[in-house]
């Protein structure tokens, strides 16, 4: 569990630095790991455990001028920029209709990373062998993005492409899948406290 804890601290520091610099967190995975990526986005792009009311005075002033602006001020929360690769089904299916499916995450990452210069890519996989995630990590390294491999104990080829090798314990796929959410919930809690008190 020490490796998981050390990885958590390293990932927290990398994400805090990236968000402070105006960067983006990219996430990708397959199956349950894709669901985990969506889950992480849900905790970071809106409030997780702490209130996050709008705080930008200029934005609030502009919203006060016209309906439904005042209601937006009440309803909106501060969020952090997170992109889950593969979330656009139309883009993914269009690409996979013409090209090799294992490179669809890399294609979507390429569209963003060519223009948004600061970011972190976290690839999620219990085995560390997901070929489409490996391709995305390879591209992220070429763009000099920070790379994170979030896997089970084996690490797999993904770990070799990662600046931060984060491994959850577990002897089976199911055990790893059960152990990853408490780790990323701790990460989201730390990030939320860092930015929103």
The C-alpha angle with vertex 187 and arms to 73 and 103, in degrees rounded to 5, equals 95
Computed over every residue of the chain, the mean pLDDT equals 97
Is residue 167 over pLDDT 90? Answer: yes
- Structural class in CATH, domain 2-45+80-196: alpha beta
| Residue 62: how many other CB atoms lie within 10 Å | 11
**Quick one: pLDDT at residue 76?**
98
Residue 170 and residue 159 in contact, taking contact as beta carbons nearer than 8 Å: no
Domain locations in the chain?
2-45+80-196, 51-79
Report the alpha-carbon distance of residue 196 to residue 73 in Å, rounded.
17
Report the alpha-carbon distance of residue 121 to residue 27 in Å, rounded.
6
| pLDDT tens-digit series, residues 5-23 | 999 999 999 999 999 999 9
Is residue 4 over pLDDT 80? Answer: yes
pTM above 0.85, yes or no: yes
**Residue found under tokens 């905790």:** 43
| Confidence band of 3 (pLDDT split at 50, 70, 90) | confident
């Amino acid at each position: 569990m020490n490796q998981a804890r050390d990885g958590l601290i390293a990932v927290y520091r990398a994400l805090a630095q990236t968000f402070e610099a105006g960067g983006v967190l990219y996430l990708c995975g397959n199956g349950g790991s894709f669901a985990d990526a969506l889950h992480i986005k849900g905790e970071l792009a809106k409030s997780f455990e702490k209130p996050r009311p709008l705080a930008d005075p200029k934005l609030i002033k502009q919203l006060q001028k016209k309906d439904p602006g005042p209601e937006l001020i009440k309803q909106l929360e501060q969020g952090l920029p997170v992109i889950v690769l593969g979330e656009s089904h139309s883009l993914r299916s269009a690409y996979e209709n013409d090209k090799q499916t294992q490179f669809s995450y890399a294609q979507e990452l390429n569209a963003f990373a060519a223009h948004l210069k600061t970011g972190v890519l976290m690839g999620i996989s219990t085995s560390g062998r997901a070929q489409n995630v490996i391709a995305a990590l390879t591209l992220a390294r070429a763009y000099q993005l920070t790379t994170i491999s979030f896997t089970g104990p084996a690490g797999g080829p993904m770990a070799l492409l990662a600046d931060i090798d984060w491994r959850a314990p577990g002897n089976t796929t199911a055990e790893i899948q059960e152990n990853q959410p408490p780790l990323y919930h701790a990460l989201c809690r730390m990030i939320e406290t860092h930015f929103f008190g």
